[in-house]
Amino acid sequence: MRTRFAPSPTGPLHLGHAFSALLAYDMAQKAGGEFHLRIEDIDQSRARAEWEAQIYDDLAWLGLTWPTPVMRQSDRMSVYKDALGLLDSKGLLYRCTCNRRDIEAAISAPQEGVKPVFGPDGMIYPGTCRNAAHTDDAAALRLDMAKACDLLADHFPLGFGDNGQHSITASELINNVGDIVLARRDMGTSYHLSVVLDDATQNVTDVVRGQDLFEATKIHVLLQHLLDLPTPRYHHHRLIRDQAGKRLAKRDDARAIAKYRADGATPADIREMVGL
Ligand code: GLU
């Protein structure tokens, strides 16, 4: 068994991260397996060396250990590029020059006031650039979901879960997910593409992540089928919420592990706070 924790160094780790990391660590320990760490720093405009250093410090303080060197996504751009080349060679990608406003406008026309429909990756793309044949190198790359599902017609429904108990249909992907961006214009990759390739390279057998990523997991399973990669077991855990019931976010500095540490909490206190 191999589990992983894959934080982005864009802010302090908070209680929700501690919960996820501890669950993944404990699961590997219990099975005599390995726990790995990965730094998800494809968004170079937001990633900071200080946050990365704080991640190592907080996790070590919590009592976690992991093999080094730690995988960093910023070192793997060529791997992402090759995978995009493979998908492109299958005719599954197209260039998109739409910004958020263009998408909103396309969705709300012709009827004024129609609310955009949201999928796991934001607004479901209305397909404006699908047949535009843009050649602009600075464009984003989108996955043609209908074509992707067509190619995998024999594989549906796609199963996943910790015991293969969930399944994904083609129509769900086409209607509720749509043509997602696989390479952002400013990054050359995306969270979805990178996470799938990295989990495969790191031979992760068990992905432990929050319930908030359940819908995103469906995209990951689809990409695994398209790229001929194994699907790990997925364990989606409950979310840690504040007193008002709101899910903790990176900007909730009040819940930062570093803050609790500074206030004299022990690692055992943190475990107790998240119900472990
Ligand atoms: N970097 C992602 C996060 O911090 C990784 C989560 C995942 O893929 O499981 O939410």
Read off the pLDDT of residues 86-96 as tens digits, 9 standing for 90 and up: 999 999 999 99
pLDDT at 160 (0 to 100)? 97
Continuous H helices in the chain: 15-30, 49-61, 77-89, 100-108, 145-151, 170-172, 191-201, 214-226, 257-262, 267-273
| 36/204 Cα distance (integer angstroms) | 8
pLDDT of 133 over the 80 cut: yes
CB 123 within 8 A of CB 98: no
For residues 229-238, give the mean pLDDT. Answer: 97
Continuous H helices in 92-190: 100-108, 145-151, 170-172
Calculate what percentage of the chain has a pLDDT beyond 90: 86
pLDDT at 241 (0 to 100)? 85
CB 117 within 8 A of CB 127: no
pLDDT of 21 over the 90 cut: yes
Residue 268 one-letter amino acid: A
The residue whose CA has the least distance to atom 10 of ligand 1 is: 7
The architecture in CATH of the region 76-198+212-231 reads 3-Layer(aba) Sandwich (3.40)
* Chain mean position to CA 40: 9
pLDDT at 137 (0 to 100)? 85
CA-195 nearest atom, ligand 1: 8
Name the nearest CA neighbour of 47 among 5, 85, 10: 10
Lowest mean pLDDT of 27-31, 69-73, 238-242, 250-254, name the range. Answer: 250-254
Distance from the alpha carbon of residue 2 to the mean position of ligand 1, in angstroms: 16
Q: Ligand 1 site: residues with CB under 6 angstroms?
A: 6-8, 40, 195, 207, 209, 213
Distance from the alpha carbon of residue 275 to the mean position of ligand 1, in angstroms: 21
pLDDT of 258 over the 80 cut: yes
The residues near 148 (Cβ < 8 Å, ≥ 6 apart) are: 92, 173, 222, 226
Distance from the alpha carbon of residue 120 to the mean position of ligand 1, in angstroms: 14
CATH of span 1-75+241-276: 3.40.50.620
Cis before 157? omega within 30: yes
pLDDT of 114 over the 70 cut: no
CA-20 nearest atom, ligand 1: 9
pLDDT of 82 over the 70 cut: yes
pLDDT at 246 (0 to 100)? 77
- Position 251 confidence tier, pLDDT thresholds 50, 70, 90: low
CA atoms within 13 A on the CB side of 2: 14
- The domain ranges of the chain are 1-75+241-276, 76-198+212-231
pLDDT at 111 (0 to 100)? 67
Distance from the alpha carbon of residue 218 to the mean position of ligand 1, in angstroms: 14
pLDDT one-digit tens code per residue, 265-276: 999 999 999 999
CA-216 nearest atom, ligand 1: 8
Pocket residue to mutate for ligand 1, from 70, 207, 213, most atoms within 8 A of Cβ: 213
- Do 1-75+241-276 and 76-198+212-231 come out as alike in CATH topology? yes
Backbone φ and ψ for 72, nearest 5 degrees, come out as: -125, 130
For residues 65-72, give the mean pLDDT. Answer: 98
What number of other Cβ atoms are within 10 A of residue 112's Cβ?
6
Backbone φ and ψ for 129, nearest 5 degrees, come out as: -95, 5
Backbone φ and ψ for 268, nearest 5 degrees, come out as: -65, -35
pLDDT one-digit tens code per residue, 177-233: 999 999 999 899 999 999 999 999 999 999 999 999 999 999 999 999 999 999 999
Can you read off the two tokens belonging to residue 5? 């924790």
For residues 30-48, give the mean pLDDT. Answer: 97
pLDDT of 112 over the 70 cut: no
* Chain mean position to CA 168: 17
pLDDT one-digit tens code per residue, 150-180: 999 999 999 999 998 999 999 999 999 999 9
Give the torsion through C-alpha atoms of 206, 211, 213, 219, to 10 deg.
70
